[in-house]
C-alpha cells in the first residue's frame, strides 16, 4: 500500500510535510507527501532531499515536529 501512496504523492501531491522553525516564525521547510506524511525521497531534487534530511535530523533543535497539511 505504501508504494502506491508514494507514487500518488509524486504525481499529484495533495499534502505537504511542514517543518516550522523554532526560532523564526516566518522560516520553515515544506515537502510534498502523502496523507500519512511519507515523503518520496526519489521524487525530490538533490537540494530538496538534503534540506529534508537536515530538517528531520534537527527536529527539536532547529525545527518543530513536522505536521502534515493539505496543499
Phi, psi of 12 (to 5 degrees): -140, 80
Average pLDDT estimate for 37-55 = 96
Evaluate if residue 2 carries a pLDDT over 60: no
H helices of the chain, where?
2-11, 46-57
Comparing CA positions, the residue from 54, 62, 12 lying closest to residue 34 is 12
Confidence of residue 13 (pLDDT cuts 50, 70, 90): low
Cross-strand bridge partners of residue 16: 32, 69
Stated pTM of the model: 0.79
Amino acid at each position: 500500500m505504501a508504494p502506491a501512496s508514494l507514487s500518488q504523492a509524486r504525481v499529484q501531491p495533495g499534502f505537504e510535510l511542514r517543518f516550522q522553525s523554532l526560532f523564526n516564525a516566518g522560516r520553515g521547510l515544506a515537502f510534498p507527501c502523502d496523507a500519512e506524511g511519507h515523503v518520496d525521497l526519489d521524487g525530490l531534487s538533490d537540494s530538496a532531499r538534503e534540506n529534508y534530511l537536515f530538517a528531520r535530523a534537527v527536529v527539536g533543535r532547529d525545527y518543530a515536529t513536522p505536521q502534515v497539511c493539505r496543499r
